[in-house]
Amino acid sequence: MDTAPGAGLQLQQLPPPSSATSVSVSEGSFSYKENLIGALLAIFGHLVVSIALNLQKYCHIRLAGAKDTRAYFKTKTWWLGLFLMLLGELGVFASYAFAPLSLIVPLSAVSVIASAIIGIIFIKEKWKPKDFLRRYILSFVGCGLAVVGTYLLVTFAPNSHEKMTGENITRHLVSWPFLLYMLVEIVLFCLLLYFYKEKNANNIVVILLLVALLGSMTVVTVKAVAGMLVLSIQGNLQLDYPIFYVMFVCMVATAVYQAAFLSQASQIYDSSLIASVGYILSTTVAITAGAIFYLDFVGEDVLHICMFALGCLIAFLGVFLITRNRKKAVPFEPYISMDAMPDEGAG
């Protein structure tokens, strides 16, 4: 007779765990939605930037071919390209506020895919079907691999969604793992710069590794600035924290020096080589920086991390095959040499 009340009490204790489980599921669903929003913004931004760069290239080539004496900035096509570029860069910038850095950075492969497709569609030469397939088979395979890699990246991306408040960013900035990482990066950067400037080590890996090291700091600061701006717009003002302005200055400075090194690399090496090597190095270093600063992969299971790494490798291979198939010594190539770099989408 005494067991009945006890059973009733045990039954009454069941609802709390189920409610906690529903909260956990809803939070996981919300974090996935944020990842999806960030990924879509990044894909849209890189796609629009690629279209803009190709529009500006088309404008320059058309003016040169027609022997038009007008300056390029007096044409509507060039201004349309500039507007689309700003719109795309804004989309990429906003994406960092929603999704983890480790997800957004590799999605710059979209620029390479879009440029390859646009180049094939607008090519003016006439090819026989067999010659066309042989000429662009690597591009088709590369685009397919890049799309598969992008799908894996979005599906198995980390779900870390910490609010970008001034306190959180400051705490990450002074954490010993990031301070140790910064020490290693500064020493490596100084060594590379010494060999590049004093020993004339103009190897493409040296130059693009300098770009990648600067780029890792660019994307770290971009995420901080974008996240604090979004929180401020939502009503949680973050602009009164000094760390916001520190991050903003670092973002601008590293982006400017990146552009300088990229310009020097484009004067020595072909843009397709810069695109493939730069994408691989910049993405690898940026993901490492994001994992250390923002703890992107903390709490993620081994399977998700391995599948994410596999997505990166497949995207790397796809970009390599696409850029390997590009023509060399194309006039006005510098106007499209930046479209495959993940850091330019940030800055």
User: What is the per-residue pLDDT across 141-191, written as a single tens digit (0 to 9) for each?
Assistant: 989 999 999 999 888 988 877 888 999 999 999 999 999 999 999 999 999
What is the C-alpha separation between 35 and 284, in angstroms, rounded? 20
Question: Containing domain of residue 245, as a range?
Answer: 162-295
Which of these, 123, 122, 120, lies nearest to 142 by C-alpha position?
Answer: 120
342 vs 53, residue with greater confidence? 53
Mean pLDDT of 103-119: 86
Taking 50 as the threshold, does the pLDDT of residue 338 lie above it? no
* Whole-number percent of the chain with pLDDT over 70: 78
What is the C-alpha separation between 86 and 83, in angstroms, rounded? 5
pLDDT-derived band at 225, boundaries 50, 70, 90: very high
Residue/partner pairs of 259-267 with CB below 8 Å, 24 or more apart: 261/207, 261/208, 261/210, 261/211, 261/214, 262/211, 262/337, 262/338, 262/341, 263/334, 264/207, 265/204, 265/207, 265/208, 265/211, 266/333, 266/334, 266/337
What is the C-alpha separation between 202 and 255, in angstroms, rounded? 21
Q: What is the pLDDT of residue 72?
A: 66
What is the C-alpha separation between 161 and 235, in angstroms, rounded? 18
Tell me if 303 is assigned to some domain. Answer: no
Which of these, 264, 275, 248, lies nearest to 338 by C-alpha position?
Answer: 275
Q: What is the pLDDT of residue 25?
A: 40
Tell me if 254 is assigned to some domain. Answer: yes
Instruction: Report the range of poorest mean pLDDT among 50-54, 214-218, 312-316.
Output: 50-54
Q: What is the pLDDT of residue 67?
A: 64
Q: What is the pLDDT of residue 128?
A: 59
Q: Answer for the pair 286, 215: CB distance below 8 angstroms, yes or no.
A: yes
Q: What is the pLDDT of residue 115?
A: 82
DSSP letters for 88-124: HHHHHHHHTTTS-HHHHGGGGHHHHHHHHHHHHHT--
Q: What is the pLDDT of residue 66?
A: 66
- What end-to-end distance do the CA atoms of the chain give, in Å? 74
Tell me if 211 is assigned to some domain. Answer: yes
pLDDT-derived band at 200, boundaries 50, 70, 90: confident
What is the C-alpha separation between 214 and 255, in angstroms, rounded? 7
The number of domains in the chain is 1
Taking 80 as the threshold, does the pLDDT of residue 195 lie above it? yes
Tell me if 312 is assigned to some domain. Answer: no
Which of these, 146, 50, 46, 30, lies nearest to 94 by C-alpha position?
Answer: 46
Q: What is the greatest pairwise CA distance in the chain?
A: 102
Question: How do residues 18-43 score in pLDDT, each as one tens digit?
Answer: 444 443 444 445 567 888 899 999 99
pLDDT-derived band at 228, boundaries 50, 70, 90: very high
- Top-confidence range, 157-171, 194-208, 217-231: 217-231
Tell me if 104 is assigned to some domain. Answer: no
Tell me if 193 is assigned to some domain. Answer: yes
pLDDT-derived band at 347, boundaries 50, 70, 90: very low
Tell me if 4 is assigned to some domain. Answer: no
Distance of CA 322 to the CA centre of its chain: 18
Instruction: Report the range of poorest mean pLDDT among 152-161, 180-189, 240-249, 273-282.
Output: 152-161
When the pLDDT of each residue in the chain is averaged and rounded to a whole number, the result is: 81
Q: How far is CA 56 from CA 50, 53, 178, 329, in A?
A: 10, 5, 40, 18
